[in-house]
Amino acid sequence: MGRKHRKVTGACLCGQVQFTVKLPVKWCAHCHCTRCQRSHGAGFVTWFGVNKEHFTLEKGEKLLKWVSSSKKSEYGFCSRCGSSMLFRSTKWADEIHITLANVHNDIGLQPQAHVYFDTHVDWLDFEDTLERHDDPVK
């Protein structure tokens, strides 16, 4: 089976919210925005985006909760274990964004850039050669 039609699986920490994603992904990047830093308790979060029709929630519909992070966006998390793993926004209405760390398989694409790099934490050094962008939607 070719990479175009391959699927990957993913889940929250407790395994009660499970999903599949049909590949290929549209992009993959490290996000340094303050919302990601605070909601994940991390210096940055690695996300990838797919067309929303390529995302299927397999288990845990009642446990998956959404919280607004702005007027135009929200994060999806497991209400049992607290894993924040999804993001959707009117800025990218045809996409769903998924945390790379919650996927069990290779998505076929390495991170391509750092986004919202203007708010990156000063306690990490980045010596890679990836492109660095401030607000990528401006």
- What's this model's pTM, rounded to 2 decimal places? 0.90
Asked whether the beta carbons of 100 and 107 are under 8 A apart, the reply is yes
Q: Which fold has domain 3-132?
A: glutathione-dependent formaldehyde- activating enzyme (gfa) (3.90.1590)
Average pLDDT over residues 108-117: 95
Burial class (CB in 10 A: 0-12, 13-18, 19+), 77: buried
Q: Please report, as a single letter, which amino acid is at residue 5.
A: H
pLDDT, residue 2, reads 47
Q: What average pLDDT does the structure give for the chain?
A: 93
- pLDDT tens-digit readout, 5-22: 599 999 999 999 999 999
DSSP bridge pairs for 52: none
β-strand partners of 78: 64
Q: Note whether 46 and 99 are within 8 A (CB).
A: yes
The closest of 51, 54, 77 to 64, measured between CA atoms, is 77
Task: Label residue 137 by pLDDT band (50, 70, 90).
Answer: low
Instruction: Parse the chain into domains and list their residue ranges.
Output: 3-132
What is the band of 1 on the pLDDT scale with cuts at 50, 70, 90? Answer: very low
135 pLDDT tier (thresholds 50, 70, 90): confident
Question: What gap in Å lies between CA 68 and CA 32, rounded to an integer?
Answer: 18
Do residues 48 and 10 touch, judged by C-beta distance below 8 A? no
Strand partners, 64: 78
